[in-house]
């Protein structure tokens, strides 16, 4: 029974997550594979041959080699990636540039740092007093 269906959009973040787990473990990612009997070299060899954008082969590899806890972490990673993309889409704004004198920039930057804000938020805050 399939645990999860990795879609074409999810293939790259899924591949990256697995690769990161292998890297974190010094090239040894603990996998759940009955036929390898604790020998992960086959799992690693087959993973290294997978194309990062091939959802079907990544899904098949994951079904064979990941345990329930690893699947859960992989799904959470994919969800986080989707959320990040959604937030980036939501934040797409038109950006305008302005020229200000260096001392003014220094004062604005110091105020932004003091308030723990970005420059734009600080300017918006200051302009709100002008209403």
Q: Where are the alpha helices (DSSP H) in 25-67?
A: 41-48, 55-65
In whole angstroms, what is the distance from residue 94 CA to residue 88 CA?
Answer: 13
In whole angstroms, what is the distance from residue 19 CA to residue 12 CA?
Answer: 10
Closest by CA to 14, choosing from 42, 68, 43, 56, is 56
- CATH node for 8-90: 1.20.1270
∠ CA 103-109-112, rounded to 5°: 145
pLDDT in the model for residue 34 = 46
- Sorted by where each begins, the domain ranges of the chain are 8-90, 93-131
Closest by CA to 61, choosing from 94, 106, 29, 108, is 29
pLDDT in the model for residue 128 = 87
pLDDT in the model for residue 40 = 67
Closest by CA to 13, choosing from 64, 61, 66, 81, is 81
pLDDT in the model for residue 24 = 79
pLDDT in the model for residue 74 = 93
In whole angstroms, what is the distance from residue 112 CA to residue 110 CA?
Answer: 5
Query: Encoding tokens for residue 70?
Result: 């690893």
Cβ atoms of 61 and 3 within 8 Å: the answer is: no
Report, in angstroms and rounded to the nearest whole number, the Rg of the chain calculated over CA atoms. Answer: 23
Q: What is the DSSP letter of 3?
A: S
Low-confidence ranges of the chain (pLDDT < 50): 33-37
pLDDT in the model for residue 11 = 92
């Amino acid at each position: 029974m399939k645990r999860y269906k990795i879609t074409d959009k999810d293939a790259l973040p899924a591949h990256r997550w697995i690769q990161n787990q292998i890297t974190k473990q010094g090239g040894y990612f603990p996998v759940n594979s009955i036929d390898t009997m604790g020998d992960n070299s086959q799992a690693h060899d087959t993973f290294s041959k997978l194309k990062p954008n091939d959802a079907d082969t990544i899904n098949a590899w994951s079904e064979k080699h990941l345990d329930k806890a690893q699947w859960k972490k992989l799904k959470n990673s994919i969800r986080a990636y989707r959320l990040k993309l959604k937030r980036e889409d939501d934040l797409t704004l038109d950006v305008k540039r302005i020229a200000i004198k260096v001392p003014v920039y220094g004062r604005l930057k110091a105020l932004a740092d003091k308030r723990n804000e970005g420059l734009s938020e600080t300017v918006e805050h200051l302009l709100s007093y002008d209403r």
